[in-house]
Structure 1
């Protein structure tokens, strides 16, 4: 009897060991101290073909290559939209942006468009006990109205949607006001030099690019609006007066954001944190720091990509030095596809040297074609994720539902309705992603099981202003992306039933709220 009891005890211990071992290998640790830190990094206008780990040969991005080779690199990951504001709205809310009016590209003085009373990406983590922060570009509006006092607290904004720490600039680098906001307040504002911003009429007596082109250190392309108030020798969109001491210098923006991100990480290294690090590269105006100038051979856009890659490397070094790299998940992506000529003459076009920013894809920023929304997407989490290349169809919008599963923080019914739980796909444990996805790039497109249908649309097939195919056509368009990711062969006439099926499915998704 004694011998039998000993055997039972050994059997129980062995079984317990097996269960724990399986859980450690196939599950996600749930203890509070073992939940991963999450850093969500979003580049600005970076294309599918802009990184060497995605096939670029004219430029090398060793730090992102390292991140990709030790994590999951996705080949069919998407922003919801081919421009910045709507794609950011989508991953913040888990909702297609075309369901809500006012989610197009916002001016720099726009009101907040993210709801403050619903689940968002940051407040999901905040409710789960994470420390949450944002550093970088915002471009989702601030305050309750367009008219706002930039000389006092500006809210609601990132804090009201779930970020406990916020260090941002309001919109884009080519739009006024060109200032940093630390929390609710403009950094380094002199009360004796108050800020005024207007997108309809000139304010103050600062020179404009239109009237004083001789003051510009970077010429602007005609027709895109970068000829209004001059800041740091660069014409911007919109008019601004005052705040001269508070105006940032373009060449220092990237390193300022890096320093703030690193400070947030260091301050919160002993507890789970979520950081949204919104990079500005390679969005215009491209003014990288001096140490990157001329290094790429592709003009200032290429130099800005080198600066971006260096920034990622510095972040990775910090995580390792703090000994939190193993249990920190880094998600790296871009808000939409690439554009070369987006308003400034900076060598991006004349010094392209055979580089293909969208890789094998047609289109780019502003386009309904794949180059508009298919973007680089890398997920790295050494403690749980094995190196892999995934062809699963995923969207940044799906991070909300997937993180909900990861940190066991439920989303109330009726919220984030377009976000799908694709946690297994994101962690590289499954090649099964979305079966249906809608892309916004002018006309809406829909993808199902590798087939893509683009809605008929009027408008030019080629945007001469930026040099990008739009995807606009009054003809029906159908592509088999599994065999033709470059969308070279329109199969609508060959497969009319498939075309009709997808057209009807798109209408059904649009009406399903």
Structure 2
């Protein structure tokens, strides 16, 4: 009997000791790894898999062709901070009065009490990481960039964070790793101010001769790497990023995160900076698109995503990785710099057939590229299901075995995996705190004061003194306002809208 027990123990121990790292990873990864690839200002028509007329994006197309591409997917908002807030919290951003485009010195927008996507996944045994753009605020108010910065991503559910504080066109122009500025010299402390310049520091407005990229509107403060930015900064020169290597830099961090965490389920939120301004492609991609820097950085992003997918393959984790690709809002051409985005556009249409773009309540502002890849688990093809990024929270909770969370997030796991064509019934979309309703095939925009076109960027934003009602099934370009000719449908839409908002609209 003793010999028999010894043989059993020896056999079990030998079996486990002979496991390769790959075998161990397969045992541990009963749940899929989850990677969200999130681009910045990428439009519905910017990808060849969505019918782009001027750009070829083969690596992103592979995700679409090997998985499920959505035609009716939405960001919650037509600007970045609100959309990112919704993605991570599953809550409508218009419920939070502070969920607007934030300066680089804004306090953390997500409260410590809120449930978040990374918190939920941590509860299910995931390691969680963010690499790239954050733009959800840091700290509790005044930030000393020379000390450890808290709270931030690590306090709302991320085990690992390697970020820029806000956007590439805003100061501070530094990388922050787990709350600490990377490469900051003790003898050259950094100071940041969004209201007043520091004495003796040059600006894009006063010193255009020091710039290689000319500002068009709103980007004429401190000059870093010969590029004028939003906000003022002094010191911290050793920590400044190099704009042309930013994509490679973030890619390296994302790849290292995958390699270091592949033996257990991991979540990676890979928030890329392209094609947001300033568009600074690596020299490898300059001139490759024929559309100027905006087109070049989209090709750069496509190559970068191809490299990330290769890393998932080479590390033997792609087969058990759910990849989600999307953008935070619609496209914009001239968003502050004279970079020939308008002049070199040619036949390319960044929003495709959609009306409007970034900052807009029209479809071009909020309908975005969205695709899901998971080998042998996601149905290949195209889905018309109505889905929103804020639905990822409860959909992934269902996937990973977590309890449903009481937020605005719907559990649409069946639609996301391609097992159902049923998506949301209704969705409240937002642009600069103004909201509208998408329900079924219809979109209703309440009356709003203000200019119809946002002059600096030349985008139709949806303001009108009258109600607007569109049937998106027959009029995707939103050419015909049916509010007056279809009063019963308008009445129905207004009733649903007021119920979801909890109050009547205020102009």
In structure 2, the partner of 1:68 is: 64
Q: Give 5+ residue unaligned stretches, structure 2.
A: 1-25
Q: Which residue of structure 1 lines up, in the alignment, with residue 168 of structure 2?
A: 173
Count of matched residue positions in the alignment of Structure 1 and Structure 2? 477
Following TM superposition, by how much is the alpha carbon of 1:411 offset from its aligned partner in structure 2, in angstroms? 4.0
TM-score (norm 2): 0.93
- Deviation of 1:58 after TM superposition, in Å, equals 1.1
CA contact (8 A) 2:128 2:157 kept: yes
Q: Deviations over 1:178-203 (max 9, x none)?
A: 00001110000001111111001112
1:242-281 per-residue CA deviation (whole Å, 9 max, x = no partner) reads 1001010110111110000000000111110000000000
Displacement of 1:31: 8.0
CA distance in 2: counterparts of 1:406 and 1:211, whole angstroms: 55
Report the counterpart of residue 444 of structure 1 in structure 2. Answer: 435
Which residue is equivalent to 1:5? none
Note the C-alpha offset of 1:126. 0.7
Whether the 8 Å CA contact 2:391–2:410 is kept in 1: the answer is yes
Q: Deviations over 1:269-309 (max 9, x none)?
A: 11100000000000000001000000000000000000010
349, 354, 363: which one aligns with 2:347: 354
- List runs of 5+ in structure 1 lacking aligned partners: 1-29
Q: Within 1, Cα distance between the matches of 2:190 and 2:316?
A: 43
Aligned ranges for residues 293-442 of structure 1 at < 5 Å? 293-412=286-405, 415=406, 417-442=407-432
Correspondence 1:511 to 2:502: yes
Cα RMSD after superposing both structures: 1.2
**In 2: Cα distance, 1:249 partner to 1:33 partner:** 37
2:45 paired with 1:49: yes
Following superposition of structure 1 onto structure 2, how do residues 14-33 of structure 1 map, counting pairs within 5 Å?
Answer: 33=29
1:208 to 203, 214, 228: 203
Alpha-carbon distance in 1 for matches of 2:165, 2:333: 23
SS at 2:239's partner residue? coil
* Contact 1:327–1:383 (8 Å) recurs in 2: no
SS of corresponding position for 1:359: coil
* Aligned counterparts of 1:334 and 1:151: Cα–Cα separation in 2: 32
Shift of 1:405: 0.1
User: Which of the residues 33, 36, 42 maps onto 1:40?
Assistant: 36
Q: Does 1:119 align with 2:115?
A: yes
Spell out the pairing of 1:243-254 with structure 2 (5 A cutoff): 243-254=236-247
The answer to whether the aligner puts 1:456 opposite 2:447 as a matched pair is yes
SS in 1 for 2:76: coil
Partner Cα distance (1:113, 1:248) in 2: 25
Distance of 2:121 and 2:373 partners within structure 1? 19
Alignment of 1:68-217 (within 5 A): 68-145=64-141, 147-217=142-212
- Displacement of 1:32 after TM fit? 5.2
- In the TM superposition, what is the alpha-carbon distance from 1:160 to its structure 2 partner? 0.4
Separation in 2, partners of 1:32, 1:115? 32
Q: Which residue in 1 is equivalent to 2:54?
A: 58
2: CA distance, partners of 1:394 / 1:31? 32
Q: CA deviation at 1:204?
A: 4.5
* Secondary structure in structure 2 of the residue aligned to 1:440: strand
Q: Partners in 2 of 1:131 and 1:175 — Cα distance? A: 30
Answer whether contact 2:128 2:159 (CA < 8 A) is retained: yes
| 1:474 aligns to 2:474 (yes or no) | no
Equivalent pair of 2:191/2:235 in contact (CA under 8 Å):
yes
Q: CA deviation at 1:71?
A: 0.3
For the 8 Å contact 1:197–1:240, the answer to whether it is kept is yes
Q: CA–CA distance in 2 between the matches of 1:232 and 1:282?
A: 18
Matching of residues 474-513 of structure 1 within 5 Å:
474-511=465-502
Deviation at 1:235, TM superposition (A): 0.4
Deviation per residue, 1:220-247 (Å, 9 max, x gap):
103xx20000000000000000100101
Q: Matched residues in 1 for 2:404 and 2:147: separation?
A: 34
Equivalence for 1:290: 283
Most deviating of 400-409 and 379-388: 379-388
Write the distance in 1 (CA, Å) between the matches of 2:72 and 2:450.
27
CA distance in 2 between partners of 1:331 and 1:122 (Å):
15
CA contact (8 A) 2:34 2:267 kept: yes
* CA distance in 2 between partners of 1:183 and 1:329 (Å): 25
Q: Is the 8 A contact 1:369 1:441 kept in 2?
A: no
Distance 1:280 1:241 in 2: 24
User: What TM-score, normalized to structure 1?
Assistant: 0.92
Distance in structure 2 (CA, Å) of the matches to 1:61 and 1:91: 25
> Offset of 1:328 from its aligned partner?
0.7
Residue 206 (structure 1) shift: 2.5
How far 1:329 moved relative to its partner?
Answer: 0.8
SS at match of 1:378: strand
Secondary structure of the structure 1 residue equivalent to 2:100: coil
Q: Which residue of 2 aligns with 1:8?
A: none
How far, CA to CA, are the matches of 1:384 and 1:288 in structure 2?
35
Compute the displacement of 1:507 (Å): 1.3
